[in-house]
Amino acid sequence: MTEALIGFAVMILLIMVQVPVAFAMALVGLGGMAFIRNWDAAYAMAGSMIYESGFQYTLSVLPLFILMGNFITKARLSKELYVAAHSFLGHKRGGLAMSTIVACGGFSAVCGSSLATAATMSKVAYPEMRRFGYDAGLATGSIAAGGTLGILLPPSIVMVVYCILTEQSIGKMFAAGLLPGVLAVFLYLLAAKWVTWRDPEAGPSAGARKTWSERGRALKEVWGVLLLFGVVMGGIYGGVFTSTEAAGIGAFGAMLFCMFRRTLTWHGLSEVLVESARTTGMLFMILIGAMLFANFINFTSLPDDLKDLVTRFDLSPFAVIIAICVLYVVLGMVLESMSMILLTVPIFYPLVQYLGFDLIWFGIIVVVVTEISFITPPFGMNVIVLRSLLPEVSLSAMYRGVAPFVVADLLRLTILIVFPAISLFLPRYLG
């Protein structure tokens, strides 16, 4: 265990001195392997990891879902989703904040990125809420919290990476995220309602109730994305095609959707392809670095020592899960979500499996805790992104705004831990 702890300390030190996370993990993994074995073994491991990452068929799902998300973003669909949600909720007190949360859920369901969802919706929803006199804290809090849905509602890049690391079914993982995602939206709506109940001036009503014909017209504007989501997810759940094939179909469908809306020029296509390639390259660099580090950790005694620690102190399995969740919240203060999952999941999942927990359920717990880290101080990534896009709103006002949503997240985490059946209900119907 000593070698593993020293490795962790060195890696955190490298990150603190501004070494990119991918290189910090790779350097520690390579150096640690050389220390335990020799440099020849370390170089052989590095070559094997790089080769397997580049040619592994399962990993092809990542660039395809990234491409799908970038096409959806290029389609400028966020405004239509917001208008559709507003037509149902805008007349309520706090309705614009609620509409933002629902629109974030819809946009993230096809985008798959929390940061992209928060950044996009800040341009659409924030000016509208401020125009109607909404409190800046509630306005930014609802956007930051709604953006976190991007890694829970399928298709989620984080879920795909988790399944690759733990060798679980991507389709079952996507199915497991649906009910927790719906629960998240419901609890966020309650949080927004609670804020306006305490302070009615924080979220005034934005107008009269829309008629059903007006709501129907609003829904017609988003039929394309609903169809795309239905085809991709329905095909996976129905066993019509694999997750990788679904990602390809989704990327092609999203491109057709952009062309249909006439938002895709040759220059725009080039931007989408370059951005997708850049994001994929960054993700694969982090993935390779994490695999090198995980291999080094597995060659130490840490995995067995963790099991012995649980046995020696007779710890309750749920106490171990709670301890892991607390550690994720702490790590979320210094690491972004993908790095955190790639770094920790290879270490924790053998212990969780040893304790008899379902790894699909554990994946949902990991994603939910990662979501919480997106909006908790001092380095909640969604809040930092909003701060850069909305410099007129103070950081303290933003964190005050997200506080009720953090409480909602903690309540949701508790519910999902106590009632695993919520996450496992839909996956049991998949073969």
pLDDT in tens, 116-148: 777 777 877 888 888 888 888 888 999 888 888
Q: In degrees, to the nearest 5, what angle opens at C-alpha 228 toward C-alphas 225 and 232?
A: 140
Q: In degrees, to the nearest 5, what angle opens at C-alpha 53 toward C-alphas 48 and 55?
A: 95
* Of 399 and 72, more confident: 399
Tokens representing residue 257 in the block: 């959707």
In the structure, what pLDDT confidence band is assigned to residue 183 with cuts at 50, 70 and 90? Answer: very high
Task: Please give the helix or strand (H or E) that residue 246 lies within, else none.
Answer: helix 243-260
Report how many domains make up the chain. Answer: 1
Which residue type is seen at 231? V
> What span, in angstroms and rounded, lies between the C-alpha atoms of 19 and 10?
11
Range of the domain at 213: 2-429
Which candidate, 420, 423, 362, 370, places its Cα nearest to that of 165?
362
Please, what is the average pLDDT of the chain? 81
pLDDT, tens digit, 9 for 90 and up, residues 18-77: 787 778 888 888 888 888 778 877 878 778 777 776 666 667 777 887 788 778 777 777
Residue-wise DSSP of 179-231: HHHHHHHHHHHHHHHHHHHH-GGGS---SSPPPHHHHHHHHHTTHHHHHHHHH
Q: In degrees, to the nearest 5, what angle opens at C-alpha 67 toward C-alphas 65 and 71?
A: 115
**What's the pLDDT score for residue 1?**
62
pTM here is: 0.80
Which candidate, 204, 195, 193, 198, places its Cα nearest to that of 128?
204
In the structure, what pLDDT confidence band is assigned to residue 333 with cuts at 50, 70 and 90? Answer: low
pLDDT, tens digit, 9 for 90 and up, residues 382-395: 887 788 788 888 88
Lowest mean per-residue pLDDT among 195-199, 319-323, 343-347: 343-347
**What's the pLDDT score for residue 431?**
60
**What's the pLDDT score for residue 107?**
77
**What's the pLDDT score for residue 55?**
67
Judge whether 308 and 77 are in contact, CB under 8 Å. Answer: no
